[in-house]
Chain A
């Protein structure tokens, strides 16, 4: 839980902003025709909540394939190691339904990443 309780100033530094140029699937570049130019870019929309906003943009997209939630979480931890503590205890939802760590991610999934609740 350490690292979740951060001051405003410190937390605003080093937010992860995806470099989409590096995230395009390699296969897109290798297609023999130009279909990839008109193919709708397959992306995953991610929205984070509460303290996670101090590590990531509120909403961002990733154009990359992930096997499952574990895969995505590990990618985000690599992107911003300071967020590992809270990412490891956060719940993930796809299209507003909670999913477990083995959920197989599909292109165009809308992901919500939610730290432990603190309502009331």
Chain B
């Protein structure tokens, strides 16, 4: 399964895509009659990192595994927070400065659950899903990085420390 059907609409979202992310289109498709809160998180490419000017990023994924994991993460969150809408999409390939590399949209009756679930979903995508970024700097150097370093603390590549509460 590589796409998710929005609950009430026939729109299908590819979890992993090499096309630019259509933020406004996805948002427009994410309104729900029972939802009073819609939260959209867009993870954008910054023009700097490690005190160096970034030209662009290039993302790589194990696409089959990544799509399956994103689907599972969304489904778990949908059940836990009773989400009306749960959408996520991550881009692969070259992504320019100010462009969205990843988007997460959650919609619920009230804002608290939409925020919580959204943060949970992006945390898990960043830590667990097999997607990697390579930074290309203006000075011509490149760096595979921004890696999840949780294993240094937890001792296991399968145990992570999340910004958001996971209980």
Contacts and interface: CB of A to CB of B under 8 A. Distances in A.
Interface in B76-119: 90, 101-102
B60 interface: yes
B interface SS class: mixed
B132 A118 contact: yes
Interface residues of A, number: 24
8 A-B pairs closest in CB distance: A119-B131, A50-B132, A120-B126, A51-B144, A116-B148, A118-B146, A116-B147, A118-B147
Q: Indicate the size class of the contact surface on chain B.
A: 35 or more
A18 to B, nearest CB: 22
Nearest to A47: B62
Nearest to A119: B131
A77 interface: no
B122 A117 contact: no
Contacts of B62: 49, 93, 96, 112, 114
8 contacts: A5-B143, A7-B141, A49-B60, A91-B158, A114-B130, A115-B144, A117-B131, A120-B131
A40 B64 CA distance: 27
